[in-house]
């Protein structure tokens, strides 16, 4: 239950932990799909997801359900509703993705789901040749569950025959699920746009060695990827293809434990993957990648290391103790390379090989940490969500779910606003602020994360946001117990209180290892421009509006615009109309809505110093 905060107090003094939030700077939509989770839904009609769990998922604010089962997706047969489990003797078990997806659409149409295509060339065929694990040891786990004993194998007889439980599964078969879902079952395409391009292919010789005892060459995998991606795009043009789904930090860079030789040079795996996608896209004219997706299972267990894992993705100054594969950058081996910033590297490769307007998002669809302390877990998760909101990451669905994560998900998904805004902190290695504002510009949230094992006093200052002096609401997570506390939107561990604001500033003490949300209501001083420019110097119109096919976007700006984007009502980028700098002054662009669904969209024009946006309505 909610209880009063013990650590808030009012002060107008200046502290080392000063935080400044500017409501008119750094605006960028926050993807709702960073509020995701793996393997939450039942795929069995005989054991449906309970209504209590559906309500819990709604209350917590899950926006993305990744339900393909990880390694179990690689041999899924959607026709027979079977999959082979590589981590359990390769035995074949029933799974009904049709039922799970239909359940999601019927119960949470506001959320999205992600499943997977199979690229390995095989799928489950029958359950008649499973290894009798019950007769062997009452189906208990032991280190030998990875043995290939399905298909007539077992103790004393060795591996079984995969042809006894698998069948050939070419690209036409794997993408046929799209026809099944959208033409036969009538599922809504926008809810099921995201599809993993299989799962952790760089370690198939370990996870799927029954049919892949020798790891294929990287180029052989790329050809399989291209074949499936092209057929999927042809059936579903609006699809989001999510790859390359590597297993961990080492596999971000290595294929068969080495760099890849190509045209006289050596490339790390993800660079090679992005480069080959770019080459094939240019040759075929087909878009083959929409989200660069990674898995991450860090081995660090010290509190300090876990609390800094959010820095692995973009921080070019962070020396990550688990940086091993990154030593392969350049194709050789540099033992002194310890700075990871993998997503920053991926963005560089995307721009280098595809171009500045590549439009490819970033995602993490599996991650686990080595900590059972709910407060450490909560702070790590909140820090990662904050960084991903700040840096425009599109997907985040942690694999393991630990105590503390429900609470953070509920806090961030329900109280973060739609648009990220700028924040700066003097002591960013200890306390971070992740700030957001709603579309109307009258509700602003600051998520404050204290990663220190001691309380920290901070002063929070707002710029370009007008609010009256008085009390504002504060919600806080701290001192979480080892057992789960989140039950619903009204029954959880959030501690609620108020803090006084004077002249756009407030001060409060953050408990050790805590996550705090400060909720402000007011008015953006100037939603159209920043600095000392006036609204009249920054004009943006659309005509006709509403429109039924196309509309003309006109704008007049005091400096050179560099980006014109269109977002849907969920904050997802649907069109980049301009990504290159042009002369200051008056300009116009045509927006063709032929391939867009009816609804409200947001057109945003941004320059280095200004942001303008308008709503447009497409009515077909």
Cα–Cα nearest to 117, from 177, 167, 162: 177
Judge if 242 and 337 occupy the same domain.
Answer: yes
- Helix, strand, or coil (residue 366): strand
Q: Are residues 431 and 467 in the same domain?
A: yes
CATH code of the domain covering residue 541: 2.60.40.1930
Residue range 47-75, pLDDT digits in tens: 999 999 999 999 999 999 999 999 999 99
**440 preceded by cis ω (within 30°)?**
no
In a domain, 476, yes or no: yes
For 589, the enclosing helix (H) or strand (E) is strand 585-592
The residue-averaged pLDDT of 312-341 equals 96
Final residue of a domain: which of 524, 555, 573? 524
501 vs 10: which has the higher pLDDT: 501
Work out the pLDDT band at 604, boundaries 50, 70, 90: confident
Instruction: Please list the helix, strand and coil fractions of the chain in percent, rounded to the nearest 5, in that order.
Output: 25, 30, 45
Helix (H, G, I), strand (E, B) or coil at 469: coil
In a domain, 559, yes or no: yes
Element (H, E) at 304: helix 303-307
556 shares a domain with 468: no
Q: Say if 173 falls within a structural domain.
A: yes
pLDDT at 380 over 70: yes
Q: How far is 177 from 174, CA to CA, in rounded Å?
A: 6
Task: For residues 317 and 361, state if they share a domain.
Answer: yes
pLDDT of residue 601: 82
| DSSP 3-state of 229 | helix
Is 136 part of a structural domain of the chain? Answer: no
Mean per-residue pLDDT of the chain = 91
Spatial separation of the C-alpha atoms in residues 2 and 574, rounded to whole Å: 39
User: 255 with 387, same domain?
Assistant: yes
For residues 533 and 399, the model is more confident at 399
Rounded average pLDDT over 196-206: 98
pLDDT band per the 50, 70, 90 thresholds, residue 560: low
258-315, pLDDT tens digit by residue?
999 999 999 999 999 999 999 999 999 999 999 999 999 999 999 999 999 999 999 9
Region 499-525: what's the mean pLDDT? 94
Looking up residue 486, the CATH number of its domain turns out to be 2.60.40.1180
What pLDDT score does 9 carry?
Answer: 30
In a domain, 155, yes or no: no
User: Is 157 contained in some domain?
Assistant: no
Q: Give the whole-angstrom CA distance, residue 277 versus residue 288.
A: 6
Amino acid 529: pLDDT? 34
Please check whether residues 191 and 307 belong to one and the same domain. Answer: yes
Parent domain of 257? 30-37+48-67+109-120+164-416
Last residue of a domain, one of 463, 496, 524: 524
pTM: 0.83
Question: Are 311 and 338 part of one and the same domain?
Answer: yes
Please give the Cα distance from 555 to 589 (Å, whole number). Answer: 9
Q: Which of 468, 503, 524 is the last residue of a domain?
A: 524
* 519 and 554 part of one domain: no
Q: Domain with 188 in it: what CATH number?
A: 3.20.20.80
Domain presence at residue 135: no
Domain membership of residue 81 (yes or no) is no
Q: Are 172 and 274 members of one domain?
A: yes
Residue 483's closest CA among 409, 376, 411, 402? 402
**Residues 467 and 573 both lie in one domain:** no
Quote the CA–CA distance of 425 and 20 in Å, as a whole number.
7
Examine the domain organization and report whether 60 and 22 are in the same domain.
no
Give the per-residue pLDDT at 355: 95
Backbone angles phi, psi at 491, to 5 degrees: -130, 95
Give the pLDDT score at 379.
Answer: 98
Q: What is the mean pLDDT of residues 228-235?
A: 98
359/377 same-domain check: yes
- Give the CA-trace dihedral at 121, 122, 123, 126, to 10 degrees: 160
Percent of the chain with pLDDT over 90: 80
Confidence category of residue 1, pLDDT binned at 50, 70, 90? very low
Q: Is the pLDDT of residue 441 over 50?
A: yes
**Quick one: pLDDT at residue 466?**
92
Q: How confident is the model at residue 607 (pLDDT cuts 50, 70, 90)?
A: low
- The structural domain count of the chain equals 3
pLDDT of residue 530: 35
Using pLDDT thresholds of 50, 70 and 90, give the confidence band for residue 525.
confident
């Amino acid at each position: 239950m909610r209880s009063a905060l013990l650590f808030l107090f009012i002060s107008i003094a200046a502290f080392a932990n000063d935080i400044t939030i500017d409501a008119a700077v750094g605006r960028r939509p926050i993807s709702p799909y960073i509020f995701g989770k793996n393997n939450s839904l039942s795929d069995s009609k005989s054991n449906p997801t309970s209504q209590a769990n559906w309500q819990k998922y709604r209350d917590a604010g899950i926006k993305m359900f990744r339900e393909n089962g990880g390694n179990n997706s690689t041999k899924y047969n959607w026709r027979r509703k079977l999959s082979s489990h590589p981590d359990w003797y390769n035995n074949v078990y029933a799974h009904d993705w049709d039922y799970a997806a239909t359940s999601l659409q019927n119960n949470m149409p506001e959320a999205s789901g992600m499943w997977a295509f199979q690229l390995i060339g095989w799928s489950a065929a029958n359950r008649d040749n499973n290894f009798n694990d019950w007769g062997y040891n009452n189906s208990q786990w032991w280190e030998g569950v990875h043995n290939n004993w399905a298909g007539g194998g077992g103790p004393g007889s060795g591996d079984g025959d995969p042809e006894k439980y698998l069948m050939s599964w070419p690209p036409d078969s794997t993408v046929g699920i799209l026809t099944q879902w959208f033409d036969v079952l009538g599922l809504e395409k926008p809810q099921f746009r995201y599809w993993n391009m299989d799962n952790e292919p760089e370690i198939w010789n370990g996870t799927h060695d029954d049919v892949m005892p020798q790891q294929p060459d990287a180029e052989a995998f790329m050809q399989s990827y291209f074949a499936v991606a092209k057929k999927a795009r042809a059936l579903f043009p609006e699809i989001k293809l999510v790859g390359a789904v590597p297993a961990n930090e080492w596999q971000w860079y290595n294929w068969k434990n080495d760099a890849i030789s190509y045209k006289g040079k050596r490339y790390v795996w993800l660079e090679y993957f992005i480069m080959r996608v770019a080459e094939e896209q240019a040759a075929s004219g087909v878009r083959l990648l929409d989200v660069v997706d990674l898995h991450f299972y860090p081995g660090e267990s010290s509190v300090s290391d876990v609390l800094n894992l959010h820095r692995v993705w973009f921080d070019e100054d962070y020396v990550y103790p688990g940086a091993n594969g990154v030593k392969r950058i350049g194709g050789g081996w540099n033992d002194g390379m310890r700075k990871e910033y993998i997503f920053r590297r991926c963005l560089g490769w995307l721009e280098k090989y595809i171009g500045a307007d590549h439009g490819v998002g970033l995602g993490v669809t599996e991650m686990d940490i080595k900590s059972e302390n709910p407060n450490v877990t909560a702070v790590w998760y909140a820090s990662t969500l904050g960084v991903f909101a700040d840096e425009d990451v599109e997907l985040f669905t942690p694999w393991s779910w630990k105590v503390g994560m429900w609470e953070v998900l509920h806090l961030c998904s329900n109280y973060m606003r739609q648009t990220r805004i700028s924040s700066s902190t003097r002591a960013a290695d200890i306390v971070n602020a992740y700030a957001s504002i709603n579309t109307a510009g009258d509700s602003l949230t600051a998520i404050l994360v204290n990663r220190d094992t001691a309380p920290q006093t901070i002063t929070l200052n707002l710029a370009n946001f007008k609010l009256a002096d008085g009390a504002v609401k504060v919600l806080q997570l701290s001192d979480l117990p080892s057992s789960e506390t989140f039950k619903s939107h009204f029954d959880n561990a959030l501690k609620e209180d108020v803090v006084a604001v004077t002249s756009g500033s407030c001060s409060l003490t953050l408990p050790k290892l805590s996550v705090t949300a400060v909720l402000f209501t007011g008015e953006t001083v100037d939603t159209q421009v920043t600095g000392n420019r006036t609204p009249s110097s920054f004009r943006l119109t659309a005509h006709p509006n509403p429109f039924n096919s196309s509309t003309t976007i006109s704008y007049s700006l005091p400096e050179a615009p560099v980006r014109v984007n269109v977002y849907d009502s969920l904050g997802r980028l649907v069109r980049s109309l301009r990504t290159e700098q042009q002369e200051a002054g008056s300009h116009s662009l045509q927006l063709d809505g032929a391939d867009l669904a009816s609804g409200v969209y947001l057109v945003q024009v941004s320059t280095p110093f200004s942001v303008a946006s308008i709503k447009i309505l497409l009515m077909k």
